[in-house]
Amino acid sequence: MNRGAAVIAAMCAANVLTMIGVFAYPALLPTFVTTWDLTNTEAGWIAGIFFAGYAVGVPVLVALTDRHDARTIYLAGAVLAVAASAGFALLAAGFWSALAFRALAGLALSATFMPGLRVLIDRYQGPRQSRAVALYTASFSLGTALSFLAAGEAATAFGWPAAFAIAAAAAGIAAVIVLLLPPVQRERRPSDGWLLDFRPVFANRGAMGFILGYGVHCWELFALRSWMVAFLAFALALPSSGTAGGTAPALAPTMVATISGLIAMAASIAGNEFCVRFGRRLVIRRVMLASSLTAFGIGFSAGLPYLAVAALMLAYTALVQFDSAAFTAGAVAAAEPNRQGATMAVHSLIGFGGGFIGPLVFGWSLDLTGGGDAVVSWGVAFALVGAIGLLGPLALRLVPTAPPARRS
């Protein structure tokens, strides 16, 4: 394995390991709703606050990667991830304590996910960098799959605190992997200016088109991931599910969510390849339209047999994830060379800001339409997600038209 491939493998592995705790709460959301007597809105707050914590930290932490080696920032984030997951396992006992520890976990991710991408691109240059970015971004989905799987299996065997204890250990291993990478020297320039001066990024129409579209994408993506297990559990409990007399363990909602993460990873990589061949704007606009139209009906499918609901959810996940890597690769490609960190900071701030609001609005919608006890309640919640998704193609109007990139 050459040095470039080793760097890609190391950063993808570290990214997956720091992701183990990210979806532990959504994987066990029905358990927490019952155990802590949460409303859907409160459950949505806990799911969404993770992404709010991310959005708060990311402008400063990612912008710092323009001035300092991102490896140092990543290591601090991994240590914080250990503390946040261990704290949740040992001390979370209700809405407020869970809210605090999930916010800290989100802050930790803001120091690892996009700074980790900067660790990668600082150490891997060349004509295939777009594919390296796509692989790293897609590893987020592999981490998502393993997060759902580890949480579901650990909670079943040992109780829900074990899910977060495993996440803490995984983040510690990620820190060791990144620590072994060689440092890089960041050249300080007199023109660096104020750290949080994002005006040049906002003036970059090409980058902002992808960034605003990413905000819409994250609203849809994280609303789906935060509520998928709860929706599948609701569908499974309906008389129409066709699972009377017990369900096969392989079809448990957490297992479907795990499979969805693997499908999402493949979809993200394939989506970037389609964008390389046919152009990012064209592919993203068509995929976002398709995913939005699917969202208008997916919630109302809960009354179908459970196998059909699970299959539709997997197909919907593939559509939502298909353009994920393309947004990030597009923003990186459109960034000014000395503004990559600042561009990724704005990209993550707006993206995960949408990721915070999406799960919260979803839970609020459930409470307003019957508390999620009827199919129509879930149908309306997903339809709201679809309506927001229609804004994505409009954002891409900011991106200048360009011919498809040559394959590398």
Averages of pLDDT over each 10 residues, the chain, 408 residues = 81 96 94 95 94 89 82 96 98 96 96 91 73 82 91 94 98 96 68 66 88 94 94 90 57 91 87 83 91 96 93 95 84 79 84 92 94 94 96 87 49
Cα separation of 33 and 35, whole Å?
A: 6
Helices (H), 64-159: 70-91, 95-110, 113-123, 129-158
Q: Concatenated DSSP letters for 167-190?
A: HHHHHHHHHHHHHTSPP-PPPP-G
What pLDDT, on a 0 to 100 scale, did the predictor assign at position 309?
94
Tokens of residue 331, six digits = 């923003």
User: Residues 71, 120: contact at Cβ < 8 Å?
Assistant: no
Domains of the chain: 3-182+198-398 (1.20.1250.20)
Q: Concatenated DSSP letters for 279-330?
A: -HHHHHHHHHHHHHHHHHHHGGGGGS-HHHHHHHHHHHHHHHHTTHHHHHHH
E strand or H helix at 388: helix 375-389
Cα separation of the two ends of the chain = 19
Q: What is Dmax (Cα atoms) for the chain?
A: 71
Phi-psi region of 390 (alpha: psi -120 to 50; beta: other; left: phi over 0): alpha
What is the pTM for the complete model shown? 0.83
